[in-house]
Homo-oligomer: A and B are copies of this chain.
């Protein structure tokens, strides 16, 4: 019995655990504990006012004119991309004084979830009776087909989602908006006060917010379904809902999968990113402009590192792991106790273990060659996309690499045509680093490495490719993309040449990975999911999949080694914590406004809502579906939430809407958005 199931069954009336799908929300459980039962209308409204930011965040509509509230760190990539050395909106913040000053984000896409439909039968039928490898290919082909049938125009985004590890396949249809513009952002120093040291910590003092606007046909989108902002924020004990897109959890992993994560995947990732972090940190000492262009990359690396470290520490806790073992034994006993179930599912854990062995064998080659860990460079990624578009698009939709299917074309086009600047100086360093790691991991004696490097050093390859490429120029990319295979084949661009050299290797690695590891693992997990339904029924929530989920909980502190942690911080705390030095330097705007601010204003708060990375930017809603807070983090204990939820200490961390309104008014004089937010 897995931990989550244990909680579902034993504590079903008490625990706030669960990232629930909107079509299987346990309203009755919420009513039993909190006296409020979300109705179908309530759920539909919340779904339609919730926004997914396709780069990896959540958000919400907060006005009828497409105004979107999300985190600063969810817009940080955009903010850096539309900044220059002279106009650094990350350092100085940004406020559009009129609609015409709202700046389009080069890489942002907003999705609103229109409908969910179950397509399990189609997938099951397509793969029935096939061996693993053939089933894997057939499954992908059927998914490509389903998504294409659904996405009748580029304005629709359709994704088949594997839920419960393959127990159910649902088709999610979104409205897709690629014209998303920056409306308001505070200074990075206010949004990320405390920096990496305070990340995943609480008490906390961050105005981690920004505002975007969705445009359609060049006009602000009409959004009658939106959340009003609460002027008073939440109180301790209040029931809260979080509607957002948790990126992924591994709560249903078997012990063999968890061991693979703990002993192999995570350690490698931690060494790799630790070194990369050191490198980027030192790169920043080259000068102010180098600091600026690498800021978002460094943030991402540090954020990942801290999150993975927290996860790894959970897995290394003996009690935690022993509990996972125990739950697995109980689950196995249920299956073994029933002859029919035993016959059908008795060996599924062995299947998973066998598949994990294949995963282990193929993992590093897959991430370094195919997922570009060996080629950290935006222009390299562009080069490879051009190469693969040229090669894949002429094939039938169902035969292509998944990400080149017809339904995915709009994302690819957006990526190709993004006007985000690329720093050649940074690219040389990141590509040199990653090529060095590639050679280190596979050794100079690996024939693939010999083929890629010849007698050249990593720095020589990187410098020649980065300095020689034209691909930083969007017009060049556009022309190559439109020119198709002929144009790409004819190109002498050195970055394309590098990608051309690597791509057959990467494709071979991918095929091997998919045929040997992914196919067996997917099949085994589907079976495991069915075993779980058979043993425990279906009133469960699936692991997170970066799709819309609803969690419920309440505003509540916790006890840290016996010391109570209060659920709220106040503005005054930020001024007390400030040192005047990054990352504890409040921006000048705050120092100037200090005397005007009500220092007792609630600033950040924690709640028991079950969230994880990807939930950043989610609205915290009260039962009237008003926004009372803005999720931007979890506490340090929440990192173990990747593997299991512990309500006693796991907490979501949010900005209080009272703080947002107070800062918009008194620090930023942001009349324009304020009047839009509070027009009700």
Interface, chain A (partner B; CB < 8 A): 194, 196-198, 201, 263-264, 267, 270-272, 274-283, 285, 309, 312, 316, 429, 433, 439-440, 443-444, 454-457, 460, 579-582, 584
Contact = CB atoms under 8 A, between A and B. Distances in A.
A581 to B, nearest CB: 4
A439 B455 CA distance: 43
A411 to B, nearest CB: 32
A458 to B, nearest CB: 9
Contacts of A198: 444
A460 B197 CA distance: 17
Given A279-B278, A282-B429, A439 B197 contact: yes
Given A282-B278, A282-B283, A460 B581 contact: yes
Most buried by B among A271, A457, A580: A271
Contact of A457 (B280, B283, B429, B581): B581
A280 B283 CA distance: 11
A30 B82 CA distance: 74
A456 B278 CA distance: 21
Contact of A443 (B197, B271, B455): B197
Given A439-B197, A440-B196, A455 B580 contact: yes
Contact of A275 (B267, B277, B456): B277
Closest 5 CB pairs of A and B: A278-B278, A282-B282, A278-B279, A274-B274, A455-B579
Contacts of A283: 282
Contact of A281 (B279, B285, B460, B580): B279
- Copy number in the complex reads 2
A168 to B, nearest CB: 34
A646 B453 CA distance: 35
Contacts of A281: 275, 278-279, 433
Contacts of A285: 429
A150 to B, nearest CB: 44
A264 B584 CA distance: 30
Contact of A581 (B263, B267, B440, B455): B455
A196 B443 CA distance: 11
A585 B52 CA distance: 52
Contacts of A279: 278-279, 281-282
Contacts of A280: 278
Contacts of A277: 275, 278
A192 to B, nearest CB: 15
Nearest to A267: B267
Nearest to A455: B579
A289 to B, nearest CB: 16
Contacts of A312: 267
Nearest to A306: B440
A444 B275 contact: no
Given A454-B579, A457-B581, 19 more contacts: A197-B443, A197-B444, A201-B443, A267-B270, A270-B271, A271-B274, A274-B274, A274-B275, A275-B275, A275-B278, A276-B278, A278-B282, A279-B282, A282-B283, A444-B584, A455-B580, A455-B581, A457-B579, A460-B581
A455 B312 CA distance: 32
A366 B89 CA distance: 43
27 contacts: A196-B440, A197-B443, A197-B444, A198-B444, A267-B267, A267-B270, A267-B312, A270-B270, A270-B274, A271-B274, A274-B274, A274-B278, A275-B275, A275-B277, A275-B278, A276-B278, A278-B280, A278-B433, A281-B433, A282-B282, A282-B283, A455-B579, A455-B580, A455-B581, A456-B579, A456-B581, A457-B582
Contacts of A584: 444
A606 to B, nearest CB: 17
Contacts of A443: 197, 201
Contacts of A309: 271
Contacts of A455: 579-581
A440 B443 CA distance: 34
Contacts of A275: 274-275, 277-278, 281
A174 to B, nearest CB: 38
Contacts of A278: 274-282, 433
A440 to B, nearest CB: 6
Nearest to A449: B197
A274 B301 CA distance: 14
Contacts of A263: 316
Contact of A271 (B197, B271, B454, B580): B271
Nearest to A281: B279
A189 to B, nearest CB: 13
A157 to B, nearest CB: 37
Nearest to A198: B444
